């Protein structure tokens, strides 16, 4: 169940960050409100995940995969430039998260 909470926390954080972009500097009401709603849900889910997952592993997965997913959304949806260096760096983030997960004593 903790892994499901962690996945939900990541997805809520990604949606919240996407709403942050859509809020245009908090000048649009609905996306601005959704930023806080989704970040609140994300932190709530992350807190529940921490009942059984080590904080170092959970936070690394949450932040690393969230970063990679938001970067992918930026490239695919917001048409941000993407070069080889960006893709290599995103791959390194994912590898780092996987390495932390595999090196921990507990696996969610």
pLDDT tens digits, the chain, 108 residues: what are they? Answer: 999 999 999 999 999 999 999 999 999 999 999 999 999 999 999 999 999 999 988 998 999 999 999 999 999 999 999 999 999 998 998 898 888 878 766 554
Please indicate, yes or no, if residue 99 is contained in any of the structural domains.
Answer: yes
Residue 106: what pLDDT? 54
Residues 6+ apart with CB under 8 A from 18: 70, 73, 77
Residue 20: what pLDDT? 98
Q: How many domains is the chain built from?
A: 1
- 50 vs 8: CA distance, rounded Å: 13
Please indicate, yes or no, if residue 25 is contained in any of the structural domains.
Answer: yes
Question: Which structural domain, as residue segments, surrounds residue 55?
Answer: 2-103
Tokens representing 1 are: 């169940």
Please indicate, yes or no, if residue 108 is contained in any of the structural domains.
Answer: no
Residue 102: what pLDDT? 80
φ, ψ (nearest 5 deg) of residue 54: -55, 140
Q: What is the pTM of this model?
A: 0.88
Please indicate, yes or no, if residue 75 is contained in any of the structural domains.
Answer: yes
């Amino acid at each position: 169940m903790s892994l499901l909470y962690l996945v939900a926390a990541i997805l809520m954080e990604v949606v919240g960050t996407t709403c942050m972009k859509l809020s245009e500097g908090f000048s649009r009401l609905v996306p601005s409100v959704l930023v806080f709603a989704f970040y609140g849900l994300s932190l709530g889910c992350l807190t529940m995940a921490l009942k059984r997952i080590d904080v170092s592993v959970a936070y690394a997965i949450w932040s690393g995969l969230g970063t990679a997913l938001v970067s992918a959304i930026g490239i695919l949806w917001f048409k941000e430039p993407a070069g080889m260096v960006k893709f290599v760096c995103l791959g390194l983030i994912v590898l780092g998260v996987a390495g932390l997960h595999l090196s921990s004593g507990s696996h969610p």
